[in-house]
Structure 1
Amino acid sequence: MRVFRLLGADRSTPPGLANFDSTTVFVRAAASYLRGESFPALGMLDPRLVPIAKRLNRLPRTARQTLYTVGGANEGISPENLGDIDVERFRRWVVEQYPDRGYPAVIVGSSNGAAVHLAALLGVPWLPQTFLVPVRRSMDADAIRADVEWGAARADPLLAANPDVSLHRMHDPNQDRLMVRKLAYFRVKSRALGDAYESFIRRVLEPGGTVVSLECEYEWPAIDLGERHSFQLGGLGGLFPEEYYDGCPAIADFLERQGVDGGREGVVADGYGGWDAPVPDDRIPEAEWGFDPALRDDLDRVADERGYDVRRLRFDDPRDLSPFVADRYRDRYADRGRPVDRLLVQSFALVEPWWTVRTGSVPYWAPFNTRPDAAFLESYLAESEPYDEAWMTLFSHGVRSAGLASIDRWRDVLAIARDHHGFVGADPTEFPYDVETHVRYHDDLPRTIAARHPHPPPLSFDRFDSIASGVEDEYAIEWERG
């Protein structure tokens, strides 16, 4: 579930760091808010190209799918250059995005769209643990065993050059089907802060400030390939983890729609049908969203040396953070005498913290566009005080993957709003092939929601700490002293 680079990209990222990845987009979104700026076109597209990008839906769907594949491949590095990857340079790039000023807290850890909005609410930086290194190669999307072997033969130089990371390789032939034909996903997780993060925290965190360890404990079956190296089939979305390995009717139907039968290499013909993959031998932090607990020791060390407080914000599923953050915005608006009846659901990387606050909208983040995402949102709405309005950005990934929620399903969920509901920047007739939504969401948001409110000062961290301690039992989170 990665963001597609449409026509061009901000090439300021260091070599090997994907512009199109969720982590990179979230850093840009969070930093843009702290700089007082809106966040158009996922922070990737030259403004001069936006008018062209808004006409891409005129292309046949097959041509748009090719754009996803080719656009992603253009971001990949040569496997021969894996030894040149410097994750410490990635971390330097992150801290360079944020205003260099004092902060009462710094959030470090899991990638999560709700964390972007939490950082905006508190006016603090978010420093991610996980980065994606996309590596060029050509391979059938269903050739799982071949991809395991291909990456295993090429990973050692990256691991040797970066002894403070774990490598979680990921291959999702369902949701990432268009991309994995030309790219291997090498996700690295920092097991230590590194000089860049540590220096930044020491420089900007106010005396007595707080380091918030953001820990998503979501796990996935994985194949152990040696020290600090694993392989993961599939990822968070519309299927259970075990279904990727064991097969299920939804996968069989999906492969049939793709024109794939049991005679193709990598596809199992008997039983439910599915993919032929090595049997996983462990459950470890999920590649994109999970937190590697090895980082916690370094966070505690720096806090002890500098006299910082530590808080651990823990949750099992990436979606668990969204209701907690949404309700903190609702409370914040109520405290300032503002309306609290407008919800803005933001799908995957289509996040816009600046316009969220400017329009007085309550942010709710959906990791993707699947049936479980719809069910989580539906549960939140059923348990919340009613909203008058419910709007949604809807990420399109170019393939009708197994577990995808239909447009009608999303409409039904949003229809719980008492007055108005609908989509922002999305063409419902083209979902999930709606390439234009990646640029249209930003311009459409202020046109769809006419309300305007000034940006309030950040919520005091001490006040937030007190609130979180008092309400954690109401949510699927834990807020703990480190």
Structure 2
Amino acid sequence: MRISQLLSGDRSTPQGLPNFDSTTVFVRAAASYLRGEQFPRLGMLHPGLTPLAKRVNHLPRRLRTAIYTQGGANEGVSPDDLDSVDVERFREWVVDQYPTRGYPAVIVGSSNGAGVFLSALLGIPWLPQTFLVPVRRDCHPDAIREDIRWGYEHAEPFLEANPDVSLHQMHDPNQDRLMVRKLGYFRTKSCVLGEAYEEFLKTVLEPGGTVISLECEHDWPAIDLGDRHSFQLGGLGGLEPEEYYEGSEKISEFLERQDADVREWDVPEPDGRTLEAEWGFEPALLEDVERVADEQGYDLRRLQFDDPRDLSPFVADLYRRRYERRDRSVDRLFVQSFALVEPWWTIRTGSVPYWAAFNTESDTEFMEEYLENTDAYDEIRANLFAHGVESAGLASADQWRSLLARAQDGHGFVGTDPEEFPYDVEVQVRYHEDISDDISARHPHPPPMAFDRFDEIAGEVTDEYELEWLE
């Protein structure tokens, strides 16, 4: 078996839906918890591959970086097959992951790691709006105009086959530098619920139940490529949006470290700002949610926030409230990065979850602000998602360690080899297995927080956070 297959994982997903993307992993994590199951190996790797995966860090770094590039390429669809990619099949796959039983509420909307923990806390499904369609193609990561032309030439068959989505083509030559060599990123956002989601709501929502619209309003400069099609350079993380388009010292130094031929990216002026490709909420979906809620007599709640990381402090403090009511310790924080989320073990160990969107300096700043505005923790532990490149704005393992040291008693990493970060490919296996070794506490899994209780708390405390809870 080729080493590149380590990242290709389970092929049970529909054509065009990758295993490695945040949305896919978040759905699997949320659904696993609702089924009462642990979430090992990002839901991707077959258990038989685990011993092999644990030896990857012994390879030279250049081979490890090749794993990211080739592993991603293995998940891409051919441009010639874009007209046969059906986003409704993605939505069918999502609802098939969840147990079919009655729920007091269902979350619909933005992708968000803290949203996975909110789903677990309430014991309810989360139905994502955004999906990634990775498309195979060869492109130098700094050839931005080439990728724009390529996307413009290949988007039409996909958009014709999927008239109910918007396409946010994304190219990040910084954080996704290894992957974009072989993949074009077609991020799609559903403008309607679609048959699968609508039927799921009618089947599982209890009479008078609630649809929670999860709405991240984060936006980004973008280039208009036509009806329902835009191009976004860069993504949330280590650089400000304008830096990608205008250049900066950070970018110049990064490109020099990469032995690139340029010191800034040649890209057309953006036409304006639109919702961020990976995390932002397409408001057209809300109209369809409102329609279904009105027709079926559901309540509708809207949870709005500007930055995807704004949800993390709110969810963390909800867990503290929940644990306190059940006479548990509220003093252990478990920071989980990007896709490395594990709700089953988080709750089993009595840990308070805090989701870091990535491992950048801005993520450490968000977390530092949280720690300054909440009661001190006795213990803080974290995992670090490794993306195989020392990207501009990346926070080092030492920077993270200094932040974790704010704990009053113990701190450290879980499943992460700080000496190998960000080339630590093995973290995708170890993030789950090491929890039981590094966090010794054990608690029974409690029943979900009653939705009425959550509704009351959300209405009272969102003013303390960067959130809006709207009826």
The percentage of counterpart residues that share the same residue type is 71
Q: Counterpart of 1:325?
A: 315
Q: Counterpart of 1:32?
A: 32
Q: What one-letter code is carried by the residue in structure 2 that aligns with 1:118?
A: L
- The answer to whether the Cα contact below 8 Å between 2:8 and 2:72 also exists between their aligned partners in 1 is no
Structure 2 Cα separation of the partners of residues 134 and 147 of structure 1: 13
1:236-264: CA deviation from partner (whole Å, max 9, x where unpaired): 001000000000000000000000133xx
Q: Counterpart of 1:75?
A: 75
Structure 2 Cα separation of the partners of residues 376 and 370 of structure 1: 10
Q: Counterpart of 2:163?
A: 163
Q: Secondary structure at the match of 2:80?
A: helix
- The answer to whether the Cα contact below 8 Å between 2:7 and 2:20 also exists between their aligned partners in 1 is no
Mapped pair 1:210 → 2:210? yes
Q: In the superposition, relative to structure 1, how do residues 28 and 453 fare at CA in structure 2: closer, same or farther (>3 Å)?
A: same
Gaps of 5+ in 2: none
Q: 1:98-109 maps to which residues of 2 (within 5 A)?
A: 98-109=98-109
- The answer to whether the Cα contact below 8 Å between 1:100 and 1:204 also exists between their aligned partners in 2 is yes
Q: Counterpart of 1:379?
A: 369
Q: What one-letter code is carried by the residue in structure 2 that aligns with 1:203?
A: T
Instruction: Give TM-score, length-normalised by structure 1.
Output: 0.96
Q: Counterpart of 2:173?
A: 173
Q: Counterpart of 2:284?
A: 294
Superposed CA RMSD: 0.8
How far is the alpha carbon of 1:465 from its aligned partner?
0.2
Q: 1:224-373 maps to which residues of 2 (within 5 A)?
A: 224-262=224-262, 273-373=263-363
Instruction: Give TM-score, length-normalised by structure 2.
Output: 0.99
Structure 1 Cα separation of the partners of residues 174 and 188 of structure 2: 22
How far is the alpha carbon of 1:382 from its aligned partner?
1.2
Structure 2 Cα separation of the partners of residues 274 and 332 of structure 1: 48
- The answer to whether the Cα contact below 8 Å between 1:109 and 1:128 also exists between their aligned partners in 2 is yes
1:181-200: CA deviation from partner (whole Å, max 9, x where unpaired): 00000010000000000000
Q: Counterpart of 1:190?
A: 190
- The answer to whether the Cα contact below 8 Å between 2:8 and 2:20 also exists between their aligned partners in 1 is no
Structure 2 Cα separation of the partners of residues 308 and 349 of structure 1: 31
Structure 1 Cα separation of the partners of residues 374 and 398 of structure 2: 22
Structure 2 Cα separation of the partners of residues 280 and 351 of structure 1: 34
Q: 1:379-458 maps to which residues of 2 (within 5 A)?
A: 379-458=369-448
Q: In the superposition, relative to structure 1, how do residues 372 and 68 fare at CA in structure 2: closer, same or farther (>3 Å)?
A: same
How far is the alpha carbon of 1:5 from its aligned partner?
6.9
- The answer to whether the Cα contact below 8 Å between 2:57 and 2:424 also exists between their aligned partners in 1 is yes
1:423-444: CA deviation from partner (whole Å, max 9, x where unpaired): 0000000000000001111000
1:278-317: CA deviation from partner (whole Å, max 9, x where unpaired): 1100111100000000000000000000110000000000
1:327-369: CA deviation from partner (whole Å, max 9, x where unpaired): 0000000000000000000000000000000000000000000
Moved over 6 A (4+): none
- The answer to whether the Cα contact below 8 Å between 1:217 and 1:314 also exists between their aligned partners in 2 is yes
- The answer to whether the Cα contact below 8 Å between 1:407 and 1:431 also exists between their aligned partners in 2 is yes
1:365-408: CA deviation from partner (whole Å, max 9, x where unpaired): 00000000001011101111010000001000000000000111
Mapped pair 1:12 → 2:12? yes
Structure 2 Cα separation of the partners of residues 50 and 161 of structure 1: 38
Gaps of 5+ in 1: 263-272
Structure 2 Cα separation of the partners of residues 411 and 308 of structure 1: 46
